[in-house]
Structure 1
């Protein structure tokens, strides 16, 4: 494959035109469908960002674009470029392939299994090979050849390798040479901007001494990437590292009224060892990334079609390098409400600052506290921002308005003259607030369009179900039952008015691990259509509540949907032999569970408009998936019963 920049950008995984996402650590651009698979792999495999809707450091975006333009994708598809690969049956995915299983299997093989990467010759001592690769990386970063360094990193070179003869790391060399993009690449792969050379100097020192001030400032930002990202998530601001301000700790509006439970949790957090605290902070960082990317994902998807194979990521994917206990804890972070999660983030920021001031500790990538303390904290800079409570009308806008709030110092603007800088900050914050309000209004209009479209699709599905019912041969149910067709299980179906207040877990309807033989029988088409109509009717009721902003109705509607879903799932065998039926039942029940969870979020708290906007969009996505699964079950049942 030529390494020339292509005149037309295409997805690195399936060649779809105009990719809108990037995988930062892989150096490739990808389309929406492939991005949905990348997100499911987890950040340890692929770190995705939207090219226009996600916040990017300009040099990091330039690094990814340079890698993509210079053919970095050939690193991950090395063996596919061999003409003999087509003979062996290996092939790249294409835009027409289904997301599941075609694209999913290809992307997992490409990035998780590294099935197509060039393999080094086997040697008895793998550590020697890794050391040789790291030495090559150490010498290569002084040049601008990014794809060479990415290839070495893909083969096992260590970004934090300490050269025994040179007495420094690859990042020291890149900083001294002024190689901004190489520094960005090394940082993505875990290089530490605070690492010390044999003389006690950091890469930041190297960059400054060589006159690369912009690179030095960027390395400081990378050093505080974790805490900066958490702060930006809450109030849309980052510390001014250039002037010595390394932490901004937002403050919840109701933080002064701490419960005993909250106080105990804060004390437990403070008692963690530095290593345990770093692990927790990095897990929270990953959860922030998941929530922010979910918001971008939902805002950029076209929800005008009922059937969609791509969904949001409901919790952090499993990282095989972590223990099962840690992975379970990471996934539980998704259950935190916006208020609970913001409280945890603030506690971590507060303790990170306390730990840095208490001692100077080394930590891995995603540095929590600076280990380069030659720059003292400027005490004139405000440490605290105000974060709106759940009762405030527009949380993020209020955060911006109060970014210059000096209440933490028990002072007031009227106590002294307002400086020009303070005036400009307030003016800038007001402008940002107005822009945010306008953005929310636009999103609300977009959501209304989505709801109307969903309503139309559901009406169409209802009409289609009615047509299928009339096409079903008369008396089919009674004729087929004696020959093994399953009647509705559990006696008569529950009516809507008889639905329990708290629905039984819908996941119990399908038990893949249950012992017993697979069952090829299917219920009669008329029963399936009847239950589909019931599900559709309940979804329509939920969408009307969303359209009329009656969020208190979300939970009762979701409970009715869960009951209807369980009744429909009960029509089918416990272990269907059809893979399509199993997949559709799994999608049906899991989407209903997710829907109920999202509706509970709206009922348990009083979220701000931006949060309820996200919940509503996720409710719509779940409704799409439920309707899609129901339609698939109707189609399969009709086809099988007519054969």
Structure 2
């Protein structure tokens, strides 16, 4: 769903009128050109959604609109508001600037480097500063002032901070106060609706006890956001959480597509992962689903625009410097999975997530996520050896977050073709989809 944009709205990065996209975690609306740069930075920097062609939970869209209308962009451009910035040569991008390098450099400085965010005075102990900010966040979420909380989060406040004196988290406080938009913001920044307070109660319990039933239902949806998104990607349906259905496990419609021995071995390895490694793999697959779905929306909305070029296609997940080089390479390999392989992996993750949530015993194993990815991708090894251009960033590392920009034009075109082909293949291979029901 989407609310019709008002003509007064402009891109937060270059001031082009009528932006079509939102950066959810930044609380801003952005144009197509700037969105192409945001997408290349990765979800850990900017989580983009199309305002009209992406399904939105109503309160999540309301949260972003509220932040935008209340001037959240000034958080990310604080120092640019100082008249002295004009004399120093620093300026905001404008509509006439080229995407590369002008807009791209500005957007990276603004969101990746946080070059224009207000800085707190330096202190010897950064952990003390983060703790103080988190305590302020804990107090602020009981009000409706979203931009104050976003500012605290931008400075380093922790959304999952457990207050030692109060015995709960900011999400508990927001839930008790019925602040559903604050809950949306905290969840975007990683707050866990399943976290227990010192008495064993979750934010969902707080919301129900306070009579905030809409908020309680939304928190349950947020709690299952990862598996819901994976299920919706395959079959276009989400579980009926109100009636106690928390998982949908899609089935392949074409029974002739039998699992290979490699896929069976990978499934066995997946089931033997400890919970931490399984969660990492599930989050990586979630990010890949987001990349594929956003790519599909991007290609559909550009209508042969000049923006669909080798500089705007995102052929695989951008490097996240907080992850190891091994994990980054594994994440990028996900782009090489064809429709059947990727659907099989998603179904296996959904099945095992349900098994783990129900408390079935787990076997111990030292296998890691990379082994799973290597096993399923092993059948591609001969092809990749014969290909002059690598299918993923083979030297992705913590020290070089921009290597994805060096991928070849031929590879980008191939990935675009695969993306379009897989959209059709999934529709043919899986059960008929039902429309989303937010």
Match of 2:136 in 1: 136
Q: Which moved more, 1:297-306 or 1:84-93?
A: 297-306
List aligned pairs for 1:122-521, cutoff 5 A: 122-254=122-254, 257-303=258-304, 305=306, 311-358=312-359, 505=388
Rounded to whole Å, the distance in 2 between the matches of 1:183 and 1:60 is: 9
Match of 1:521 in 2: none
Rounded to whole Å, the distance in 2 between the matches of 1:359 and 1:124 is: 47
Q: CA deviation at 1:592?
A: 2.1
- Give TM-score, length-normalised by structure 1: 0.57
Rounded to whole Å, the distance in 1 between the matches of 2:16 and 2:428 is: 33
What do residues 296-345 of structure 1 show as CA deviations (whole Å, max 9, x unaligned)? 00010031559857532110000000000000000000001111100000
Question: Does the Cα contact within 8 Å between 2:33 and 2:307 map onto a contact in 1?
Answer: no
Rounded to whole Å, the distance in 2 between the matches of 1:163 and 1:360 is: 33
Q: CA deviation at 1:244?
A: 0.3
Which of residues 409, 418, 427 in structure 2 aligns to 1:591? 409
- Residues 1:316 and 1:243: Cα distance change in structure 2 (over 3 Å): same
Helix, strand or coil at the partner of 1:251: coil
Question: Does the Cα contact within 8 Å between 2:339 and 2:426 map onto a contact in 1?
Answer: no
Q: CA deviation at 1:259?
A: 2.8
Rounded to whole Å, the distance in 2 between the matches of 1:503 and 1:352 is: 37
- Residues 1:504 and 1:334: Cα distance change in structure 2 (over 3 Å): closer
Question: Does the Cα contact within 8 Å between 2:45 and 2:112 map onto a contact in 1?
Answer: yes
Helix, strand or coil at the partner of 1:358: coil
What do residues 195-249 of structure 1 show as CA deviations (whole Å, max 9, x unaligned)? 0001100000000000000000000000000000000000000000000000010
What do residues 157-216 of structure 1 show as CA deviations (whole Å, max 9, x unaligned)? 000111111110000000000000000000000001010001100000000000000000
Match of 2:372 in 1: none
Which of residues 422, 425, 428 in structure 2 aligns to 1:608? 425
Rounded to whole Å, the distance in 2 between the matches of 1:354 and 1:168 is: 29
Rounded to whole Å, the distance in 2 between the matches of 1:307 and 1:340 is: 27
Match of 1:90 in 2: 90
More helix by share: 1
Question: Does the Cα contact within 8 Å between 1:99 and 1:309 map onto a contact in 2?
Answer: no
What do residues 328-370 of structure 1 show as CA deviations (whole Å, max 9, x unaligned)? 0000000011111000000000000011112699xxxxxxxxx
What do residues 534-579 of structure 1 show as CA deviations (whole Å, max 9, x unaligned)? xxxxxxxxxxxxxxxxxxxxxxxxxxxxxxxxxxxxxxxxxxxxxx
Match of 2:35 in 1: 35
Rounded to whole Å, the distance in 2 between the matches of 1:39 and 1:611 is: 28
Higher Cα Rg, which structure: 1
Rounded to whole Å, the distance in 2 between the matches of 1:606 and 1:51 is: 21
What stretches of structure 1 move > 4 A for 4+ residues in a row? 304-310, 596-603, 609-612
Show structure 1 runs of 5+ residues with no match: 362-501, 508-585, 613-643
What do residues 270-320 of structure 1 show as CA deviations (whole Å, max 9, x unaligned)? 011100000000000000000000000001003155985753211000000
Match of 1:582 in 2: none
- Residues 1:209 and 1:602: Cα distance change in structure 2 (over 3 Å): closer
Helix, strand or coil at the partner of 1:344: helix
- Residues 1:504 and 1:296: Cα distance change in structure 2 (over 3 Å): closer
Higher relative contact order (Cα pairs below 8 Å, separated by 6+ residues): 2
What do residues 376-434 of structure 1 show as CA deviations (whole Å, max 9, x unaligned)? xxxxxxxxxxxxxxxxxxxxxxxxxxxxxxxxxxxxxxxxxxxxxxxxxxxxxxxxxxx
- Residues 1:313 and 1:65: Cα distance change in structure 2 (over 3 Å): same
Question: Does the Cα contact within 8 Å between 1:338 and 1:611 map onto a contact in 2?
Answer: no
Question: Does the Cα contact within 8 Å between 1:231 and 1:237 map onto a contact in 2?
Answer: yes
Q: CA deviation at 1:504?
A: 6.8
In the alignment of these two chains, the number of paired residues is: 388
Q: CA deviation at 1:593?
A: 3.1
- Residues 1:251 and 1:503: Cα distance change in structure 2 (over 3 Å): closer
Rounded to whole Å, the distance in 2 between the matches of 1:182 and 1:30 is: 22
- Give TM-score, length-normalised by structure 2: 0.83
RMSD between aligned alpha carbons?
A: 2.7
What do residues 428-450 of structure 1 show as CA deviations (whole Å, max 9, x unaligned)? xxxxxxxxxxxxxxxxxxxxxxx
Rounded to whole Å, the distance in 2 between the matches of 1:199 and 1:600 is: 51
Q: CA deviation at 1:503?
A: 9.0
- Residues 1:181 and 1:307: Cα distance change in structure 2 (over 3 Å): closer
Helix, strand or coil at the partner of 1:249: coil
Helix, strand or coil at the partner of 2:408: helix
1:111 aligns with 2:111: yes
Q: CA deviation at 1:138?
A: 0.4
Question: Does the Cα contact within 8 Å between 2:296 and 2:419 map onto a contact in 1?
Answer: no
